[in-house]
Amino acid sequence: MKMLIGGQKTDSSDGRTIDVINPANGKFLDTIPMATEEDVQRAVDNAKKGQKEWTAIPLMEREKIIQRFVRLLEEHKKEIIAVCTRECGKHVGTTIFEYNQTASVFTGYMESAKRLDGQLLVPGSEPGHDGRTASDMIMVTHEPLGTVVAIVPFNAPMLLYSYKVAPALAAGNAVIVKPPTDNPLTDIMITELLLEAGVPGNALQIVTGSGSKVGDWLVKNPGVDAVSMTGSTQVGIGIAEIMAKRLAPCTLELGGNDAFIVMPDTDIDKAAASACGARKGNSGQICISSKRFIVHNSVIEEFTEKLVKLVREIEVGYDDNVEEMVEKCLGNTDRTNTKGEFIGSLISERAAKEVEAQVAHTISQGAKLLCGGQRTGAFYMPTVLAGVTKDMDVAKDLEIFGPVWPVIGFDTVEEAIEIANGSRYGLSGCVMTDDWKLGMRVAREVQTGGMVVNGSSVYRNQMQPFGGQKMSGMGNEGLTTLEEMTKIKNIVLKGFLG
């Protein structure tokens, strides 16, 4: 596939390409251009023109364009799901979950745009610098930021594309997409459909290549007005530093090491089942997946035994007969997968080796391997680690992005909260308890952007302002946060009411 710059399918200016490989079976899928800095500059220059073209289209007409896109998306549904499944190495059911949300994110943000109506301030409510404001009309309006760079991660390329591109377009911005290097094909296909629906080619572009080069060129380009990025905390800090030097905004959804707290009064069967599902979805490659299982010592043995039984039942594999599986699984809406479904590979063998090394490191610190712990290529077997103590790295800041369940004991509520807050991350979390007051206390005291009481941390409603605290990010995404893709302008009509 090719990049889309200025509405044209484009190779890189030097002709270099990158292979896209199915991580589950090593099969070659396609190539993408390795963009040059010259290509990036061309896209930025186009975006300045494209933003004016896009914002000049009345909102009602822009909404019709998005509606056409949604129809095209449905027409190409099976093809898109098949491509995404293959380039991610995941199970079809997980891909379908992503697909089922993508269209409604776009239409939802367009609905939000119709309600972004600004303010008319009450005249004469205070004296003002000249002592005379009673006849002044003061309008508070929203304007587009300009050119927004959307940096999309590998773990949910459809859904997280939509959470970045949809609000940026709805607010009247031009967008340059930097898709994930390992699995960019789905995002290219969706971009093609948006252009086919009527989004101007200069207003939406997609530039492919390595994040360390193409992403860096985009973020450092002074023609870029804002960045929306999901990825690692390390990369996010670098982006924030660059953007701060020109006082430009960025929305960053970064790492997490979410706590799953089990109180002794809860139903342990329910807690174990929820814990299993909270981690196995997308082979553990979910930013808000529970990653630290903090369990009261009076029930830790029972919980661990039941968890291990469930984890041992998880099937790991990949069925390349994707088209047939699409027909079978189209009704699936559960991101944590359903019984009998495979969990697929990680995004690459490199990623699986990193998980393997992290598990080995945790065992070297004293954890006990109860099941799993083996890697085959890009696949990593579901793994439960017992005997994890709160001073180990995995109990604090070591985020394992794979199907691994570290179980940590505690004796008091205060200690559970202390362990949960002992991480530099604060993305999401959860607590399982029959005492709603206790659940509310824990939810308020754990330092995260979101907490779920009696459910797993894998919870993201499209309406909620989703984001993290501490080193898990800055800014929010969600249908109620469209203002983050705009800037405020005050327009004063002096003496207009006099």
Catalytic residue selected from 192, 253, 341, 399? 253
Residues 6+ apart with CB under 8 A from 213: none
Cα 26 to chain centroid distance, Å, stands at 26
Quick check: 399 and 375 in contact, CB under 8 A?
Answer: no
Which residue in 250, 276, 287, 329 is the catalytic one? 287
Cβ–Cβ < 8 Å for 384, 292: no
Which residue intervals of 406-490 are DSSP H helices?
A: 413-420, 436-445
| Number of other CB atoms surrounding residue 277 within 10 Å | 20
287 tagged catalytic: yes
User: What pTM was estimated for this model as a whole?
Assistant: 0.95
Instruction: Give how far the C-alpha of residue 416 lies from the chain's centroid of Cα atoms, to the nearest Å.
Output: 27
Question: What angle, 0 to 180 degrees and rounded to 10, lies between the N-to-C axes of helices 92-113 and 322-329?
Answer: 60
Closest to 227 measured CA to CA, from 488, 5, 475: 475
Q: List, in order of start, the domains of the chain with CATH numbers.
A: 3-254+475-491 (3.40.605.10), 258-314+345-465 (3.40.309.10)
- The tens-digit pLDDT sequence of the chain (498 residues) is 999 999 999 999 999 999 999 999 999 999 999 999 999 999 999 999 999 999 999 999 999 999 999 999 999 999 999 999 999 999 888 899 899 999 999 999 999 999 998 899 988 888 877 778 889 999 999 999 999 999 999 999 999 999 999 999 999 999 999 999 999 999 999 999 999 999 999 999 999 999 899 999 999 999 999 999 999 999 999 999 999 999 999 999 999 999 999 999 999 999 999 999 989 999 999 999 999 999 999 999 999 999 999 999 999 998 888 888 887 777 655 544 445 557 999 999 999 999 999 999 999 999 999 999 999 999 999 999 999 999 999 999 999 999 999 999 999 999 999 999 999 999 999 999 999 999 999 999 999 999 999 999 999 999 999 999 999 999 999 999 999 999 999 999 999 998
Phi, psi of 413, rounded to the nearest 5 degrees = -60, -40
Active site residue 143: no
